[in-house]
Structure formats: C-alpha cells, structure tokens
Structure 1
C-alpha cells in the first residue's frame, strides 16, 4: 500500500510508520521534524502544517491510505481538502475524550459526543475533546464513507512521553521509601499499548475498516496493576501507604496527570472513562497483548530513560515524602 502519515515522527505516529515500513508498505511521513525524524525506510515530506493548504503540495499523487493524528481542526480541515479526494481510505486517530459522558462504565460507540469546537475557535488542551469531535465531523463530510474514526483510549507503552502510566512501575522500582497510592484499588484502569494501537490502525486501513471504533485496552483493577508493579520491582517489596481520595484532594494532590498528581486516579463522575467497551474493535480485528507485557516493557523503558528523571505526571519525591509523613502522623 501507498500510505501517507500526517506525522510519523513522535510516539504513536512514528510507531505506525515503523510498523508500516516493516510490513513492506511504501510510507511517506509529512511532518516538520520538530519531534524527531521518521523511522528508517520511510520517505519524509518536510512541511509545516500551519502554512495552510500549501503544506500538502509535497504529497502529490493518490494514496491507498492516509493516517491523520491531528488535534487542531484547522490543519485537519486543510489536509482533508487537499488529500481526501486522492485517498482510498482515511484514518483519523480520535479519542475517547470525544464522548460527552464519562460516568457510565461499559459505554460503546453509540454514546453521545461533545459539541464540536466551533470553526475559528482556537484549539487548546481544555477543549481537546471538542476539537477531536470537530475533526471527526469534518472527516466524515470529506471522505464520504471511507474513514475509520479510531477513538483511542489512554495510550502507553515504551516511549510514552506523558508519564501517566510509566509513573507507577518506575515509582515502585525506585528505592525511595513507601509508595503513596490512592484508595481506588477496585477501580479499573484501561491502557492500550502503543504497539497494539499502531498495528490495529494499519490492519484497519489494510482491510478498509470504516466508522467509529473504540481502541481501548482491557480493564485492569488499579490494585492488580500496583501489585504487579511491586512484583516487577528489583527493590525489596516496597511498602505502600494508602490515602483516601478526599484527603488527597484536601492536600492539593491532582487527579490523573500534571505536576504533583497521582496518575490513573480519576476525578468524580469519571467512572466510565477507563471502562469503555472495546468489543467492536476486537470483533473487527484489534488484537491486544497481555497487559503484563506492556507493564514489563514500560518498566524496561523507564529504567533506560532514568527512574529519577523529571516527569510530566506524578508526585515529586519531596511532595510524596511529606504526604506520607503527614498521613502516618495523622494515623498514629
């Protein structure tokens, strides 16, 4: 297949390009290169998508498949205008953040969506879901039944730049005292390995899959995940200190991501955020590796990158130490 990837230099899009080259496809990556270079074997069409429709002049000819990972509707619309008439199949990597209601476990692709971001409104992290909905709608309008809307859940695995999953195996592997964990042991986590997501996106393009499909991992209870992190640790089995959710909020600890957060801990009314149905995608051919393999490979990657490195998500060691001491003194 002749495949054009709008990106191809960072995390998911680079993994898609790598796997596509390995499968023998003719791969072109259209990207600036700020995040790196495409993998060996892929052609590189250097372009800055902020330049508007002219950015796609280097993507001449027809394409068996185009894969789009944008989060800003403006360049996504430009790409559709320039390339959709020449594409046999179009994949838009959307997000489960496009759904309006995160409170219902087991929700499938027929769940309601957020309102699309209005044209001309700047795309920001705060309207990420609305931006994805706007691109979904533009994609459906431009491709006329030839598009796969891949609604990805939390993506992780080796190379994850967000730290939202890798924080936990890395923290348990550090020899730095008790591990502070939120009291959410029964709650589900749901992560898809970047390698499995890339493989699914390519398979869907090869077989011409269309329509919206949730690309999520299987559900794993938070307590099962952290127990496995402890078992993988090369340190002596780390002690854990369990903190109630209300207490953590009162101490200023953040949910989910960002500085001084506890990753995978969700805010109220998000009981379904990491418990969405992935059955339709599985039925269409999505294959998931055992979650334990993803966890072990993530820890291996964390060790290479540095367990003590600065992170985008998780508690700073000093913050965690202070919280543990405060909680232990409160319970004494």
Structure 2
C-alpha cells in the first residue's frame, strides 16, 4: 500500500511513518522540510501546505492509496489536501477534542456532541480551526474520512515537555509542589505508538467516521501519575521526593497558571468536566491503550538519553516552557 503521511517528520508523524514502514508499506511524507528528514527509503515531498500551487507542484504525479494527516493547523491547509487528495481510498485526519464546542466546560458524551461551526467562530482559534478542517475534508472524502479527535498524546519523544517536566522535577528531588485535590482525579492519555499504529491499521481497512482518540477515563488518576513519575525516576533522583500539597486557592493566589506551571492541573471544579470524555468510539474501533506505566517508563528512558531534554531551562521550540517557575515554587514552599 502507498501511504502519504502529511507532516511525517514531526513527533506523531514520524511515529506514523515508522509504523507504516514496519507494516511493509511504501511511504511518502509531505512536510515543510523544517523538522528534519524522514527515515531512509521514505520519499520526502516538500511544500507549504497553505499554498495551493506549492502543494500541487509537490504532489504532481503522486497517487497514494491512503493518507494519514498529522499536521492540520489551518483550514487553508485542509483545503489544499482536500482538493489534491480527494481520490484516495482512505484518509485519517488528526483533529482534536478541542473541536467540541462545549468542552472543556462540559463533558464529552460522544462523537455526536456539537462541534464548533457557528458564523462567529474564529477559524484562527484552534478548536474552530479543527472543526472547520473536518468539514472541508468531509465534503471531499465523505465516507472515506476517519476523523481522529485526539486527546493528550504521551510517550517517548514527546516535544511538549509536559509529562517530561514532572519526571524532570522528580529527578531534582526534595519537596515537590502538588495540588491537594488530585489524588483521585481521573486523567487520561493515548500513547503515541498506540495512536500511530492504529491509524495505519485504520487506513489499511478503510475505517471511517469520528473517534474520540484517547485512553479510557479511569485508567489512572493524577495522583497515581505523580506517584508513578516519582517511582520511575527512582534512584535517579538527587534526593528523596516528598509532596508539598497546596490547595487550589493557594496555587491561584501564588500566580500558578492553569495547565502550564503544573502540567495537567486545573482547579478541581474545572477538572471534573475536562477529564470526563466518552471514549467508547475508540474502544469500538480497536484503539489500544497500553498501561500508563509503560508510557511513563519509556518516556523517562528517552529523556535520560537526551541530555538537552533534561535541562530545566530548555523549552520546546515554539512553545511556552512548561513547569513551575523557581520563584513561584520557592514562594509556595516558603
């Protein structure tokens, strides 16, 4: 099978490429060419996806059997691929749970929950952009489109630094500021390897429709995740880790930013809906969910092999540096 991976040189796209190669497919990538080259044996196509003429040039004579689109960040980009790749047999588009209009303020009860699509929605905003891109592709591909509304992705190679920050902070040891209300709070992730392999298998069999692609609610809790990070780091920590529990009011008064300074944390009243996601569509479609212990262990092994990734001052390219600033942490511990 000839598979085109759109954005196949980044983290998720690279995993999709490796999964497709492992399953014996011929693979090409379509990317801007700024994130490195794909593995040997993969045909690299370079274009600005928002430029219709540039995409037409790059795809001239290219007739893939299937597409896995991991890099949809503009509606214009969705239009270019929709116009040039509408004849493929299967197309998997990585959307986001942010496409749902009422989330995270309200739970996601299923794939039929309303998505953004009102006239006053700004297509430059992430959620409305994903929902609008879904519609553009659906008009071109109809029942050959699989919409993968992804939740949080984790695993080795993670460029976001969010779960990695917790592991790095455990490695520093000593008292670690943690929210007091999270020990029983569900959290959920999808491992990048599970998601990528499943998407390749999905285009092989022509799977279509929409899927909430994340792990099952209840697989772990925020508290268990913190304990797991501490345990996985283990003897690599400079000193024993202890918990410095602070309630939501104290964290907010100290200037702790939701989600950013303590990755995955929002106040308890907001968290109830944030993590309440119906994933029955994913389970019916066969999306695997490996144990979170394996994901965290493998991420720590990857971090240990990347000295620059262990640097507390390093920020992922183009992203806000995750983690608690030293001055805020000291004020909370003081």
TM-score, normalized by length of structure 2?
0.89
Q: Alpha carbon RMSD of aligned pairs, Å?
A: 2.0
Q: Which moved more, 1:308-317 or 1:32-41?
A: 308-317
Who is 2:330 aligned against?
321
Q: Which moved more, 1:44-53 or 1:203-212?
A: 44-53
In the alignment, the residues of structure 1 paired with residue 286 and residue 215 of structure 2 have an alpha-carbon distance, to the nearest angstrom, of 14
Which of these residues, 238, 241, 257, is aligned with residue 241 of structure 2? 238
In the alignment, the residues of structure 1 paired with residue 108 and residue 138 of structure 2 have an alpha-carbon distance, to the nearest angstrom, of 25
Who is 2:159 aligned against?
161
User: Where do 4+ consecutive residues of structure 1 move more than 3 Å?
Assistant: 103-106, 116-119, 267-270
SS at match of 2:328: helix
The reply on whether 1:223 has 2:218 as its aligned counterpart is no
Distance 1:186 1:104, change over 3 A: farther
Cα displacement (A) at 1:105: 4.4
Cα displacement (A) at 1:122: 6.2
Q: Which moved more, 1:107-116 or 1:293-302?
A: 107-116
The reply on whether 1:308 has 2:308 as its aligned counterpart is no
Who is 1:73 aligned against?
75
Cα displacement (A) at 1:298: 1.1
Which of these residues, 126, 129, 135, is aligned with residue 128 of structure 1? 126
Gaps of 5+ in 2: 316-320
Which of these residues, 252, 256, 259, is aligned with residue 253 of structure 1? 256
Distance 1:4 1:116, change over 3 A: farther
Distance 1:53 1:271, change over 3 A: farther
Please give the residue correspondences for 1:42-191 in structure 2 after superposition, counting only pairs within 5 Å. 42-59=42-59, 60-69=61-70, 70-84=72-86, 86-101=87-102, 102-105=104-107, 107-115=109-117, 123=124, 127-175=125-173, 177-183=174-180, 184-191=182-189
SS at match of 1:287: coil
The answer on whether the counterparts of 1:103 and 1:271 sit within 8 Å (CA) in structure 2 is no
How many residues are matched? 316
Gaps of 5+ in 1: 326-332
SS at match of 2:51: helix
SS at match of 2:250: helix
Who is 2:318 aligned against?
none
Cα displacement (A) at 1:104: 4.2
The answer on whether the counterparts of 1:65 and 1:205 sit within 8 Å (CA) in structure 2 is yes
In the alignment, the residues of structure 2 paired with residue 117 and residue 45 of structure 1 have an alpha-carbon distance, to the nearest angstrom, of 35
Cα displacement (A) at 1:117: 7.8
The answer on whether the counterparts of 1:28 and 1:42 sit within 8 Å (CA) in structure 2 is yes
The answer on whether the counterparts of 1:107 and 1:272 sit within 8 Å (CA) in structure 2 is no
Cα displacement (A) at 1:116: 5.9
The reply on whether 1:25 has 2:28 as its aligned counterpart is no
Who is 1:299 aligned against?
300
The answer on whether the counterparts of 1:171 and 1:179 sit within 8 Å (CA) in structure 2 is yes
